[in-house]
Amino acid sequence: MDIGMTLPIMEPDLDRGLLRTWVEAVDRGPYSSLAFGERMLFSNPETMALMGACAAWTERVRLVTTIFIATLHSPVLLAKHIATADMLSNGRVTIGVGIGGREEDYAAVGADLSLRKQKELAARVDVMRRAWAGEHVVPGVARAVGPAPVQPGGPPVLAGAMGPKAIAGASHWADGVCGMSFAPDVGEIDQSFTMVRQAWADAGRPKPHLGTSFWFALGDNARDQMRTHLKRYFTWLPPAEVDAIAEHAGFAGSDKDFKALLHQIADTGADEVMLISTSSDPDQIHRVADIIG
């Protein structure tokens, strides 16, 4: 099982130096991927610009979006952004896409909330794939949208699909899933992967990429760190609900238990797990590297 690391972009007081320290340390470490997600009504860096910086600051790791809220964007413009990042990284981009869970993100950019549907997501992915293949996707204009991605046909596209209906729909257009386990719960992860495998088999698709992720905090004050992070992150939920989530979500514990959890997730057949740090301290990168070897 590959292990990726998520940038701490939901933490406060980020600057160029801290982000670059994280990016370069992950690239030097034992990690397969560097991940980052998208929010609009928050203080995180904008995803397109961040992807370009990460492409320039890295040489080895894959760059994975977990996730782009694709239904917020023009599919042609998104395809062009992603192809450019694929070119700048020399073919190291993987795209996770979804419809997002926050109505406020749609309001922030003036996007049509009625488009927050799985069928609209599938339509956008189809346009992006056609653009990456060099097809003419702009009506009435006999020219392709460049640049061409380095990866033939474009980067792999993963679905941020977690429920049975979303997984079944994604089986027709995605190369796999980039899921999330809130607890994390190994049984839940295993059950989700079973659904994904069956859905892809039913759709006559090749074996899917099986990815999951979870928040983590290590050490003596791990649960306090987790609480602080989650209470800052869940801005769209009522405070009482956030308090309840913060008491149980994510992994907060010892290095030994953390390593055991990773082995249990590997036993589910996961291809990759994305670790989500709840601190912007770069020591997190090195501590996890020591744990996983």
How confident is the model over 135-180, as pLDDT tens digits? 999 999 999 999 999 999 999 999 999 899 999 999 999 999 999 9
Task: Give the tokens for residue 196.
Answer: 């994904």
Nearest to 77 by CA among 128, 120, 149: 128
Specify whether the CB–CB gap between 131 and 144 falls below 8 A. Answer: yes
Nearest 5 degrees, angle CA 161-CA 65-CA 9?
Answer: 115
How much is the pLDDT for 147? 97
Summary mean pLDDT of the chain = 96
Specify whether the CB–CB gap between 26 and 275 falls below 8 A. Answer: no
How much is the pLDDT for 50? 97
Task: Find the length of the chain.
Answer: 293
Whole-angstrom Cα distance, residue 212 to residue 57?
25
Specify whether the CB–CB gap between 27 and 59 falls below 8 A. Answer: yes
pTM of the model: 0.95
Q: Exposure pattern of 36-53 as b/e (b: 16+ CB <10 Å)?
A: bbbbbebebbebbebbbe
Q: Cβ–Cβ contacts within 10 Å for residue 253, how many?
A: 17
pLDDT digits (tens, 9 = 90+) for 240-259: 999 999 999 999 999 999 99
In 120-173, where do the E strands start and end? 157-159
pLDDT digits (tens, 9 = 90+) for 48-88: 999 999 999 999 999 999 999 999 999 999 999 999 999 99
Q: In total, how many domains does the chain have?
A: 1
Determine the structural domain holding residue 166 and report its residue range: 2-292
Contacts with 218 (C-beta within 8 Å, 6 or more apart), sequence order? 252, 253, 254, 255, 258, 284, 287, 288
Q: Which helix (H) or strand (E) holds 28?
A: helix 16-28
CATH number at 11 reads 3.20.20.30
Nearest 5 degrees, angle CA 82-CA 88-CA 89?
Answer: 90
Instruction: Please determine, for residue 229, whether its predicted confidence score (pLDDT) is greater than 90.
Output: yes
Percent of the chain exceeding pLDDT 70 equals 100
Instruction: Please determine, for residue 187, whether its predicted confidence score (pLDDT) is greater than 90.
Output: yes
Instruction: Please determine, for residue 293, whether its predicted confidence score (pLDDT) is greater than 90.
Output: no
Q: Cβ–Cβ contacts within 10 Å for residue 59, how many?
A: 12
How much is the pLDDT for 162? 87
Q: Please count the CA atoms within 13 angstroms of the CA of 110 that sit on its side-chain side.
A: 1
Whole-angstrom Cα distance, residue 149 to residue 134?
10
* pLDDT-derived band at 101, boundaries 50, 70, 90: confident
pLDDT digits (tens, 9 = 90+) for 198-228: 999 999 999 999 999 999 999 889 999 999 9
Whole-angstrom Cα distance, residue 276 to residue 261?
14
Instruction: Please determine, for residue 275, whether its predicted confidence score (pLDDT) is greater than 90.
Output: yes
Nearest to 226 by CA among 212, 254, 245: 245
